[in-house]
Chains A and B, each alone.
Chain A
């Protein structure tokens, strides 16, 4: 399906090159989003496991928060 852009206020159809670039941009956005979600999941998991290890060492939640800020 053809895509359009607003050029100086006029609606014009994307050129073939622009369509290709748009596909590239959207694919990259999708992979970036996947990477962001994965990175956040990994960070959350690391945070949880680290917190648990601190608890296993005998620290309470207040002490952990003072140390890690979370």
Chain B
């Protein structure tokens, strides 16, 4: 509340302890509470001697805590009081809520002067402009804006395109991703899924095949339809083309993949749209590349499972003959909203 009337004077006014006159002595020590005090200057004090206010400088001087009269006092003289109008040694203790920002030097407030807080909190400002502590987030979360009117918050990273799992194959007959175990998700969490195959090398020259999985098992019925469009730098254009119906699997490669690793043997991307949405046939799209060191083969295509419109919960990859000698298979999920 604003002050009505004249603003009170604020200062460290002190009445000195009583001083006993010593006969023939001009200098006396000024004390408050038995502790020496030093006036700001000779003009920052009132001295009464024998009932008369003394004239500064003329009647007395001051140096530090020593008051010196212009002549020695004598028995019978009485120093009535000495009143100090300020104190240069310290400013005393400011009253509560009286130190404004102008009284504090820039860069003077160190971290050590700040009140303790909670581990991991971050200082921000609320809608009223007042400081507010942002609660500590969890491991992996990031600080994000929550828009005007509210302070930022720690939140999980946007999970619109997520790497789910990468597995490394070594001399196995198949690589399966099935929803529900070992951190593998292949359900309605994501609108579509993508599998990226890197550096696949078969045990013998062979084609890459893929089957859908329903209820955890690969579907082997002859209900796969697909087409591929292929070619290569050292084969005839169209080598690898196919239009196939009623097959027992998707054939991802129209040309055999060589069983030697040469500059990155096989690289493929397979997309699966809405695997758990029932009422429509499951559609896949793929593109792949293979190198034999000298030439490169390319393949693209699309496929559909015609057997039913039930949900699928995984995909299985294998060579049409022999094992997968090596290769990395990565599963990703993508959201559309």
Binary contact track B155-193/A, C-beta < 8 Å → 1, others 0: 000000000010101011111111001111000000000
Report the bound CA distance from A7 to B217 in whole Å. Answer: 11
Name the one of A3, A8, A24, A28 contacting B165, with C-beta atoms under 8 angstroms: A8
Measured as residues with beta carbon below 8 angstroms from the partner, the interface class of chain B is 20 to 34
Report the bound CA distance from A27 to B207 in whole Å. Answer: 14
CB-CB under 8 A from B26, the residues of chain A are none
Report the bound CA distance from A4 to B209 in whole Å. Answer: 17
* Contact B182–A9 (Cβ < 8 Å): yes
* Contact B167–A25 (Cβ < 8 Å): no
* Contact B172–A11 (Cβ < 8 Å): yes
Binary contact track B104-140/A, C-beta < 8 Å → 1, others 0: 0000000000000000000000000000000000000
B41 to chain A minimum Cβ distance, whole angstroms, is 85
Report the bound CA distance from A39 to B174 in whole Å. Answer: 29
Closest A residue to B323 using CB positions: A3
At the interface, yes or no: A46 with Cβ under 8 Å from chain B? no
* Contact A8–B184 (Cβ < 8 Å): yes
* A25-B318, A29-B321, A30-B321 as given contacts; A7 in contact with B248, CB under 8 Å: no
At the interface, yes or no: A64 with Cβ under 8 Å from chain B? no
Instruction: List 22 contacting pairs A-B, 8 Å CB cutoff, sorted by A.
Output: A3-B323, A4-B171, A5-B174, A6-B167, A6-B169, A6-B172, A6-B174, A6-B175, A6-B176, A7-B176, A7-B178, A7-B181, A8-B167, A8-B177, A8-B182, A8-B183, A9-B184, A11-B172, A14-B174, A25-B318, A26-B321, A26-B322
Q: Chain A interface (Cβ within 8 Å of chain B)? A: 3-11, 14, 18, 21-22, 24-26, 28-30, 32-33
